[in-house]
Amino acid sequence: MDQIRHSKWDSLREEMDKYQIFEDDLIEKFILGSGPGGQKINKTHSCVYLKHIPTGFEVKCQKTRSREQNRFHARRELVEKVKGEIYQEETKRKKEADKIRKQKKRRSRKSKEKMLEEKHQRGEVKENRRSPGEGD
C-alpha cells in the first residue's frame, strides 16, 4: 500500500491538535535519502526533516521510500516526542526502554543470595525424589 489512509491522517491531526502541534509551527524539509534501497533512494529527496519551532524538537524520518509516508511517520514521531518530553506521558518507546533496562539491571546481593538458596532447596527436593539406583 503506497498511501496512508485518510482516517489515519485524521486521527494523527486530532492528536497533534490535542498536544498543540500545529502545521504553521513546523518547518518541513526534504533531504536526499541514503542507506539501503539502491538508486531510487539515493537520488530522491524522500527523507523528511521536521522542526517544531515552539519546543525546538527535531525529527528526521526515512522509514520508507515514499515521501508521503515519511511525512506521516515524522509527524507521528514528533507527537510521541512531545508526549514524552513535555506532557510526561508514558509512550510505547519509553515503556520498551524501561522494560529492557529492568531486564539488564543486576540483582542486589540479598536478592541473589535468596534466589540461589531457593534453587539449592529445590535441587534437594528433586534429589530426594530419585529412586535409590538412579544416577550412579
pLDDT range class, residue 135, cuts 50, 70, 90: low
Which pLDDT score, from 0 to 100, does residue 17 have? 93
pLDDT confidence of residue 23: 93
**Using one digit for the tens of pLDDT, what is the confidence trace for 2-55?**
688 999 999 999 999 999 999 999 999 999 887 777 777 778 888 999 999 999
Indicate whether 1 pLDDT > 50.
no
Three-state SS letters, the chain: CCCCCHHHHHHHHHHHHHCCCCHHHEEEEEECCCCCCHHHHHCCCCEEEEEECCCCEEEEECCCCCHHHHHHHHHHHHHHHHHHHCCCCCCHHHHHHHHHHHHHCCCCHHHHHHHHHHHHHHHHHHHHHCCCCCCC
pLDDT at 136: 58
Distance between CA atoms of 119 and 97, rounded to whole angstroms? 30
pLDDT tens by residue, 86-115: 877 777 778 888 889 988 888 888 988 999
Q: What digits encode the pLDDT tens for the residues 54-69?
A: 999 999 999 888 899 9
